[in-house]
Chains A and B, each alone.
Chain A
Amino acid sequence: MLREWKTEWMKIRRRKIGLLVGAFVVLIFAWMTWAIRDSSKEQIYDGWRVCFLQFSLINTILLPTMIAMLASRLCDAEIKGNTLKLLCTMEKKGRLFDLKLLTGAVYLLLFIIAEYAMMFLLSAALGFGRPAEPRHLIYFFLENYTSSILLLLLQQVLSFFYENQIIPLAAGLFGSFAGLFSWFLPGAPVWYLIPWGYYSKLAYISYTWDEATRITTYYNAPFNFPGLLALLAIIAAGYAAGRYLFVTRKEI
């Protein structure tokens, strides 16, 4: 297994996947810095809550596209080079599917770690008054990483099945819009059925905006554990279905 996983990393040499993820990290950092620059003293004081909410919102918009690109970079080399018919004489098809997913998951993990680093950096630079609640740090991971894994799974299946990578990339762009809409109608149960809707469904920080004082107040919302369970169930079902389709239906 380790030997096979090693080859996954050998295959993506010069694919510039690190650069792709790095570019999104820089973009998000620039976006957050811009978003927070005119914040009031109250908002800076409550900076961690602002970060948890804003990062999740930005992830909803940007991550579907980044994940589509990531999955495409990981899978299209196999499609372009007709390598499956060679690889599948040396390793099981299902394992190849798993290892691709695992490789993508490692990049997403690094991305989330970079986001934590950005938050700590902003906290140190701006001096957030209220400390971060440890459970919020965990919720951030559960919300953003788990939602992203579902998207990675979806994009990997699409990238394996479509020779033309425009289709999976278009699905990623569509996902960005769908995810954004989910924040405007967070109560609608339909978002449980749409993979890009889970970032908003699992949001645990909310806010009110007072028109008279023009003050935004952030507050804790209960974490949506049933939503998380639904997401995990969808990931499990999606993984089983995607893997089965790849093993049995993907023509070599």
Chain B
Amino acid sequence: MKYMIETNGLCKKYGDKYSVKKCSLKIRPGCVYGFLGPNGAGKSTTMKMILGLVQPTAGEIRIFGEEVTERNRIEILRDTGSLIESPSYYGHLTGRENLEIIRTLKGVSRKEIDEVLQIVRLEGQQKKKVREYSLGMKQRLGLAAALLGRPKLLLLDEPTNGLDPAGIQEMRDLISDLPEHYGMTVMVSSHLLSEMDQMVTDVGIIDKGKMIYQGSLEKLHEQAKGSLKVHALNQGTAVRILDEHREKYRIDGADLLLPERSEREVADVVTMLAAEGAQITHVEMQQKSLEDIFLALTGRQVSL
């Protein structure tokens, strides 16, 4: 299969410390690939290496199936768009003038400016100087610049950083629409796991520079089983009964967490506990969120 981005053994070392270590990414065409990890995990460095902004210490990068070298980098990147960390802009110029510069560099037609302004809904603000824009507008302008030339591949590093909840929702909708409407493949990084859940189809999780999971979001959810939360007034009795029946469980404060099971099996456990006087007041099936999955994979909490 020809991947849009493929990296093999990608490393970046600063001094003695690895910022990214043997990172192997595979991004299939037409997906929204969520690149997850806590702050400092190596997401931005990896994306910068893909774009040739940072020189890798070791490893190979392929974009559109072609190995990227300093010689062919600009040519290959012609079909990509990017928004890395904070937006890039000339504050003394208007939004349209900023896009005009990018358009000239990319060598695309002038009418594309109107199209991308429409996509990011900035038509009404195009004649305003960018230094007068809000952060959300600057982010949208950054996305418009990335979209110029209808690239096949888009790399967006933390595009929702600093946006208010409405702005985050708007950006999320825009990004998730791109593959369907414009046939683009999107790689988007974030440390906000919850927002990824609603936006991406594939996921790569990086922690301390190492890839710890890569695959579809669906499979990740499947892999991470849920649990049955039981609240019993008489917890001691409940624990005794579960021990007697060799049931697996974990005490979580006043609750007991049992492995996920079918509805029939849930009914059996509840009946058994109630019959022995455990005094059940609450039973709940818990699905693991991405945060829980991340916690299970890395053993530490991620910032939200």
Q: How far does the alpha carbon of A14 sit from the alpha carbon of B94 in the complex, in Å?
A: 11
Closest beta carbon of chain B to A10's beta carbon, Å: 5
A14 and B88 contact, Cβ closer than 8 Å, known pairs A89-B51, A89-B53, A90-B102: no
A83-B88 contact given A10-B100, A89-B51, A252-B54, CB 8 Å threshold: yes
Q: Are B145 and A15 in contact (CB under 8 A)?
A: no
Question: Which residues from chain B contact A10 at a C-beta distance below 8 Å?
Answer: 93, 97, 100-101, 104
Q: Which of A14, A85, A89, A248 contacts B80 (CB 8 A)?
A: A89
B90 interface neighbour in A4, A83, A248, A252, Cβ under 8 Å = A83
Which 3 pairs of residues, A with B, have the shortest CB-CB distance? A86-B88, A83-B88, A90-B105
Is A82 part of the binding interface, using a Cβ–Cβ cutoff of 8 Å? yes
B86 (CB) vs chain A CBs: closest residue: A82
Most chain B CB within 10 A, of A3, A4, A10, is at A10
Of the A-B pairs whose beta carbons lie under 8 Å apart in the complex, a sample of 25, sorted by A's number, is A3-B104, A3-B107, A7-B101, A7-B104, A11-B90, A13-B92, A13-B93, A14-B92, A82-B86, A82-B88, A83-B90, A84-B88, A85-B48, A85-B85, A85-B88, A88-B53, A89-B52, A89-B80, A90-B74, A90-B78, A90-B102, A90-B106, A91-B105, A252-B53, A252-B54
**List of B residues within 8 angstroms of A81 by Cβ:** 88-91
Within the complex, the shortest CB–CB distance from B151 to chain A, in Å, comes to: 10
B82 touches A89 (CB 8 A): yes
B74 and A86 contact, CB distance less than 8 A: no
With an 8 Å Cβ cutoff, the count of chain B residues facing the other chain is 31
Docked pose: A248 CA to B70 CA in angstroms: 12
Chain B 63-104 interface 0/1 with A at a Cβ cutoff of 8 Å (1 = within): 000000000001001101010111111111100010011101
Interface size counted on chain A using CB atoms at 8 A: 25
Report which A residues bind B (CB closer than 8 A).
Answer: 3-4, 6-7, 10-11, 13-15, 77, 80-92, 248, 252
Distance, CA A88 to CA B49, complexed state (A): 12
In the assembled complex, how far is the CB of residue A208 from the closest CB belonging to chain B, in whole angstroms?
Answer: 51
Residues of B within 8 A of A3 (CB): 104-105, 107
